[in-house]
Amino acid sequence: MSTTKIQTQKTAFYVLLTYIGFQLSGFIVLIPPVRKVFLHFINKDGAEAGIAIAGWWSAISAIIAFIVCIILINKNKNFWNIFKGEKASIPVSIGWGIIGFFLVYLGQSIGAMIELALGIDYGSENTETILLVTEIAPVMILASVFFGPILEELVFRRVIFGSLIQTQNFWVAGIVSSIFFAIIHLDFTHIILYSISGFVFAFLYYKTKRLLTSIIAHMMLNGFVTLVQMNADKIQQIMDQMPK
């Protein structure tokens, strides 16, 4: 095995460890002295205070994890060189990212119908939790819509899918990485929805050979869900006022 490949694998491993640390770092705000520091800056009481702290820490830890990943990746110029052939241009990659949003949305709609046929009710507990935190601490949007998707694409598409695709075909790499993507959301009732989304993101990355594409689609999906859910009442009022 070449020195370059070993170095790239190490970088991928460190990025994975950074993401795991980000996911587990929420326990830090449970430490009384740390929690007390946050309470000095949060004008909330009771349960809302705890939720606000969770939102702020999610945003802060996501930003920190993102910066650490960028530093790690910048030390290895070969980190992105996993596909043979020419990468899609930036405009084409952006275009596919936008198309990808609609592909993911379509895939989730099909997945929702499959789940309903299996007797699984619509609505994700994971999404509802994130939206609850966002309502109390809007800063959570930084984690759920911006830095979170970037970190997840780095880990599940570049690290996991990108490592597998070098020895396996697209289907194996795509399915395995999408299952891991679904598992990390800890919403096993809707594992079909998350797996479909992960597979489409993998396809977008594979299609353009640029992670930018799946990042755009992922951000747009999370942003759309957040926007719709946060304004559900207003949207319903508008629909009720429309002529029938």
Alpha carbons 79 and 75: distance in angstroms, whole number: 9
From first CA to last CA, the distance across the chain in angstroms is: 67
Active-site residue identified among 152, 153, 190, 218? 152
DSSP 83: S
Asked if 126 and 186 touch (Cβ cutoff 8 Å), the reply is yes
Phi, psi of 76 (to 5 degrees): -130, 100
DSSP 98: H
Burial pattern 201-223, b for ≥16 Cβ within 10 A else e, equals bbbbbbbbbbbbbbbbbbbbbbb
| Annotation marks residue 152 as catalytic | yes
Asked if 73 and 79 touch (Cβ cutoff 8 Å), the reply is yes
Active-site residue identified among 86, 115, 135, 185? 185
By CB atoms closer than 10 A (0-12, 13-18, 19+), residue 183 is middle
Give the list of residues 6+ apart from residue 197 with CB closer than 8 angstroms, or none.
104, 107, 108, 178, 181, 221
Enzyme catalytic residues = 152, 185
